[in-house]
């Protein structure tokens, strides 16, 4: 938005925008946010100015607008200068507390679309391998994940190397207790997780036992000679919004109780605590975290424990409602990537053999790629 005029006031610089709204920026804030080459590193974009070691003299000598470069230049009485772009000033025009983005906040391409059943998934999130590796393909790939919570990449060569290269088009692969990029099957002699067995797995999110749960998970079945083993995906954000509307007391309970999750094996005991619905300052959901398999023991006062069980049961039963579940078979050549902070995933039991590969991405790396492509 263009700047119409500026006025120097005692408390700060008052900017009148082209729509006649105004914003008054404190002088200390303006000095602290200067984007001049002296104050902000041109390559790393790290702040070089320090307004805390000594109190700066915020007396103003002159303020000028450069409409060509779209910057405001402030000359201070102490002979220093500050330079701020119209873009920065406009992005900070409305004061607000810094907070994590809600999952239902608009992206630069598309607003997320929650779904309570597979029939509500519009524009099915599927893309071919050749499309993904094209110049513009990664944008569509990431947009599907942001919009619906998952994407299927079809016609992918069924090898670990190709799958790993596909994942690395987004970002580096995250290490976890299971390693980095991994290849596994359902015939391990001593599996340390039910994912490495033929057993059914209830709807859950991964990493409830680590402080920073994986942001995305990628799975590719590269060999399959089995019956059963269908995969299910459930939109946890849709359940959150349903509970907010229809079961507000239960929703609030699940926003406020720090549920412990744990992972135990010889020489390892991981434990973390997180509410089932993590919300920001506005009350918007930023993460869904649910794994009944990995829930660790805890006890509240008896009346509080009863309310927790009631609330947890509502979520559990909604997640296990088959009408909410998108079910499909993960065949060789079909790569699944999904948002582990939004979707729950599950698996039916199977007989026979199958081999998979895949791994995790950090949430911040996914968001970084969204901003940059």
- 3-state secondary structure (DSSP) of residue 176: strand
CATH number of domain containing 227: 3.60.130.10
**Do residues 176 and 316 both lie within one domain?**
yes
Is the per-residue pLDDT at 107 higher than 60? no
Q: Which of 35, 57, 91 is where one domain is finished?
A: 91
φ/ψ of 339, rounded to 5, equals -80, 105
Same domain for 132 and 248, yes or no, is: yes
Same domain, 229 and 126: yes
Model confidence pLDDT, tens digit, residues 228-276: 999 999 999 999 999 999 999 999 999 999 999 999 988 999 999 999 9
Q: Quick one: 86 and 104 in the same domain?
A: no
Is there a single domain that holds both residue 109 and residue 87? Answer: no
Among residues 91, 106, 139, the one where a domain terminates is 91
> Which pTM does this prediction carry?
0.81
Within 13 Å of residue 139, how many CA atoms lie on the same side as its CB? Answer: 10
pLDDT band of 100, cuts 50, 70, 90: low
Query: Could you say which of 28, 62, 91 is where a domain stops?
Result: 91
Q: Considering its fold, how many domains does the chain have in total?
A: 2
pLDDT, averaged across the chain: 92
Instruction: Examine the domain organization and report whether 181 and 212 are in the same domain.
Output: yes
- Sign of the torsion formed by the C-alpha atoms of 290, 292, 295 and 297: positive
Q: Which range marks the domain in which residue 235 is found?
A: 97-373
Judge if 31 and 167 occupy the same domain.
no
Radius of gyration of the chain (CA): 25
pLDDT of residue 192: 65
pLDDT tens-digit map of 108-140: 445 679 999 999 998 899 999 999 999 889 999
Q: What are phi and psi of 163, to 5 degrees?
A: -65, -45
Answer yes or no: do 162 and 241 share one domain.
Answer: yes
Structure tokens at 160: 């670990």
> According to the model, what pLDDT value does residue 103 have?
58
> How far is residue 343 from each of residues 182, 292, 338, 354, measured CA to CA in Å?
21, 15, 7, 23
Q: Is the pLDDT of residue 77 over 70?
A: yes
Is 183 in the same domain as 73? no
User: What pLDDT does 101 receive?
Assistant: 65
Residue 8: closest CA among 64, 84, 66, 89: 64
In the prediction, which pLDDT does 102 show?
A: 62
User: CB pairs under 8 A, 24+ apart, for 318-325?
Assistant: 318/239, 318/242, 318/243, 319/202, 319/203, 319/234, 319/236, 319/239, 319/290, 319/344, 320/202, 320/203, 323/117, 324/116, 324/117, 324/234, 324/235, 324/238, 324/239, 325/118, 325/203, 325/232, 325/233, 325/234
């Amino acid at each position: 938005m263009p700047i119409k005029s500026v006025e120097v006031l005692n408390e700060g610089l008052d900017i009148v925008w082209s729509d006649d709204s105004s914003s008054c920026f404190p002088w200390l804030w303006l000095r602290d946010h200067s984007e001049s080459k002296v104050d902000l590193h041109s390559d790393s974009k790290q702040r070089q100015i320090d307004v805390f070691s000594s109190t700066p003299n915020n007396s103003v000598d002159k303020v000028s607008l450069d409409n060509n470069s779209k910057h405001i230049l402030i000359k201070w009485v102490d002979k220093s200068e500050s330079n701020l772009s119209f873009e920065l000033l406009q992005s900070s025009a409305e004061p607000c507390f810094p907070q994590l983005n809600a999952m239902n906040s608009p992206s630069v391409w598309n607003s997320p679309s929650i779904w309570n059943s597979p029939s509500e998934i519009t524009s099915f999130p599927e893309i071919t391998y050749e499309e993904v590796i094209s110049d513009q393909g990664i944008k569509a790939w990431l947009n599907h994940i942001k919009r619906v919570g998952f994407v299927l990449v079809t016609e992918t060569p069924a090898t670990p190397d190709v799958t790993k290269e596909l994942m690395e088009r987004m970002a580096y692969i995250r290490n976890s207790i299971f390693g980095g990029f991994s290849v596994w099957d359902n015939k391990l002699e001593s599996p340390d997780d039910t994912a490495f067995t033929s057993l059914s797995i209830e709807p859950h999110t991964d990493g409830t036992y680590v402080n920073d749960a994986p942001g995305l998970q990628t799975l590719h079945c590269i060999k399959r000679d089995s019956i059963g083993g269908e995969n299910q995906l459930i939109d946890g954000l849709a359940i959150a919004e349903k509970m907010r509307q229809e079961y507000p007391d239960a929703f609030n309970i699940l926003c406020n109780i720090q549920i412990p999750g744990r992972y135990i094996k010889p020489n390892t005991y991981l434990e973390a605590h997180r509410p089932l619905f993590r919300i920001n300052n506005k009350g918007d959901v930023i993460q869904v975290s649910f794994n009944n398999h990995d829930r660790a023991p805890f006890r509240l006062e008896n009346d509080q424990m009863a309310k927790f069980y009631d609330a947890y049961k509502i979520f559990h039963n909604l997640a296990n409602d088959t009408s909410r579940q998108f079910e499909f078979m993960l065949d060789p050549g079909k790569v699944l990537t999904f948002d582990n902070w939004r979707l729950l995933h599950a698996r039916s039991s199977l007989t026979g053999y199958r081999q998979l590969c895949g791994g995790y991405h950090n949430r911040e790396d996914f968001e970084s790629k969204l901003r940059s492509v």
